[in-house]
């Protein structure tokens, strides 16, 4: 039977640090081979076994026509890095950046007219569980969106937003969110210790509770509220705890936490 071949797009990966390596491993699981990618990274030791690096884009052989160029360098490196890829942009490669904060106009000014997607990934992408959100410039097509979605879904989920202005809120929730959740885990563990649990057991239970609840919530068709009700028996222990937890203070603190992060994101991307 003739099957449909979903060949992996030819990619230039610019920057192979934490995120670059995570993406590369995700793409490998999806069928990318070392022949299908050119990696630009000053430190060859960072790339996974089987892959090689090039020092700069001028080393990419003329015959390698990338369909996608993905930037995974620090935001502060972009102004120097981007002009080296203008030619690929001009030849029609889809440009994708996962760098935090920089707006699409910034990329267009350094790359020239191009099809561009800006993506906000999140740290759990390092274990294949990231929450990425993408926004495209005016030139991006439906087919481009499908390519970007595929590239990012190899390390978690990928959602799209239409308005770039919303990216600061995304950064506050899913970009900074892992740090907020780690802190909640720390607080739960410290509270468990106060009730007499050993530190080791308390940390293990807090982490596994967050992990298990997250998986349950993402795999269930029930709403978060319904899931909460399902573990809350009338007059029971959970209800006693929730009475305090849901008195409005936590809600307010979380609202203010995200608002602060969002405001800082806006300041940094100005
Ligand atoms: N890590 C996260 O959880 C996370 C979350 C959301 C967004 N992001 C975004 O993802 C991007 C990458 O983050 P990361 O944590 O992977 O950073 P990273 O580990 O520092 O990786 C960046 C890599 O780019 C290399 N590089 C520097 N100049 C280069 C050049 N001219 N050409 C090619 N490569 C170059 C760096 O090499 P040197 O070390 O030698 O400079 C480094 O290996 C950042 O823009 C960040 O905002 C990351």
Task: Tell me the pLDDT of the chain averaged across its residues.
Answer: 95
DSSP class of residue 116 equals E
Q: How far is the CA of 40 from the centre of ligand 1 (A)?
A: 11
Nearest-CA neighbor of 12 among 65, 48, 49? 65
Ligand 1 atom at minimal distance to the Cα of residue 84: 31
Q: Residues 270, 103: contact at Cβ < 8 Å?
A: no
Enumerate domains of the chain plus CATH numbers: 11-167 (3.40.50.720), 177-268 (1.10.3730.10)
| 20 pocket-lining for ligand 1 (C-beta < 6 Å) | yes
Strands 116-120 and 130-136, bridge-based pairing: antiparallel
Q: Residues 81, 89: contact at Cβ < 8 Å?
A: no
- What is d(CA 109, CA 112) in angstroms, rounded to the nearest whole number? 6
Residue nearest to atom 43 of ligand 1 (CA): 17
Q: How far is the CA of 234 from the centre of ligand 1 (A)?
A: 50
Residues 198, 203, 204: CA angle, nearest 5 degrees: 100
Please tell me the predicted confidence (pLDDT) of residue 54. Answer: 96
- For 207-260, the pLDDT digits (tens) are 999 999 999 999 999 999 999 999 999 999 999 999 999 999 999 999 999 999
Ligand 1 atom at minimal distance to the Cα of residue 14: 33
Does the pLDDT value for residue 5 go beyond 70?
no
Does the pLDDT value for residue 179 go beyond 70?
yes
For the entire predicted model, the pTM comes to 0.94
Please report which confidence band the pLDDT of residue 269 belongs to, taking 50, 70 and 90 as the band edges: confident
Does the pLDDT value for residue 270 go beyond 80?
no
Name the CA dihedral angle for 28, 33, 37, 38, rounded to a multiple of 10 degrees: 110
Please tell me the predicted confidence (pLDDT) of residue 2. Answer: 40
Please tell me the predicted confidence (pLDDT) of residue 4. Answer: 46
Q: How far is the CA of 21 from the centre of ligand 1 (A)?
A: 10
Q: How far is the CA of 96 from the centre of ligand 1 (A)?
A: 14
Please tell me the predicted confidence (pLDDT) of residue 6. Answer: 62
Can you tell me the mean pLDDT for 262-270? 88
- For 27-79, the pLDDT digits (tens) are 999 999 999 999 999 999 999 999 999 999 999 999 999 999 999 999 999 99
Please tell me the predicted confidence (pLDDT) of residue 262. Answer: 96
Structure tokens at 245: 């937890």
Can you tell me the mean pLDDT for 131-146? 97
Please report which confidence band the pLDDT of residue 134 belongs to, taking 50, 70 and 90 as the band edges: very high
Mutational pocket test of ligand 1: of 15, 134, 180, the residue with most ligand atoms within 8 Å of the beta carbon: 15
Q: Residues 160, 136: contact at Cβ < 8 Å?
A: yes
Share of residues in the chain with pLDDT > 70 (%): 98
Ligand 1 atom at minimal distance to the Cα of residue 99: 45
Least confident of 199-203, 222-226, 264-268: 264-268
Q: How far is the CA of 80 from the centre of ligand 1 (A)?
A: 14
């Amino acid at each position: 039977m003739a099957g449909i071949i979903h060949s992996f797009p030819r990619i230039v990966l610019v920057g192979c640090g934490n995120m670059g390596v995570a993406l590369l491993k995700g793409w490998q699981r999806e069928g990318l081979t070392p022949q299908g990618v050119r990696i630009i990274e000053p430190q060859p030791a960072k790339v996974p076994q089987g892959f090689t690096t090039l020092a700069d884009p001028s080393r990419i052989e003329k015959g390698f026509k990338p369909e996608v160029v993905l930037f995974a360098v620090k935001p502060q490196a972009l102004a120097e890095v981007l002009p080296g890829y203008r030619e690929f942009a001009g030849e029609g490669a889809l440009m994708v950046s996962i760098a935090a904060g920089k707006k699409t106009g910034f990329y267009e000014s350094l790359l020239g007219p191009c099809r561009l997607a800006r993506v906000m990934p999140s740290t759990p992408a390092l274990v294949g569980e990231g929450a990425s959100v993408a926004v495209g410039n005016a030139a991006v097509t439906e087919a481009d969106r499908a390519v970007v979605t595929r590239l990012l879904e190899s390390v978690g989920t990928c959602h799209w937003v239409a308005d770039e202005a919303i990216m600061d809120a995304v950064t506050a929730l899913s970009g900074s969110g892992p740090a907020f959740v780690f802190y909640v885990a720390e607080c739960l563990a410290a509270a468990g210790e106060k009730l007499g649990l050993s530190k080791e057991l308390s940390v293990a239970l807090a982490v596994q509770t967050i992990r298990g609840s997250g998986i349950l919530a993402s795999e269930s068709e029930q709403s978060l509220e319904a899931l909460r009700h399902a573990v809350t028996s009338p007059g029971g222990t959970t209800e006693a705890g929730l009475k305090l937890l849901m008195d409005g203070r936590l809600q307010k603190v979380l609202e203010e936490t995200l608002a602060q992060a969002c405001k800082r994101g806006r300041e940094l991307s100005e």
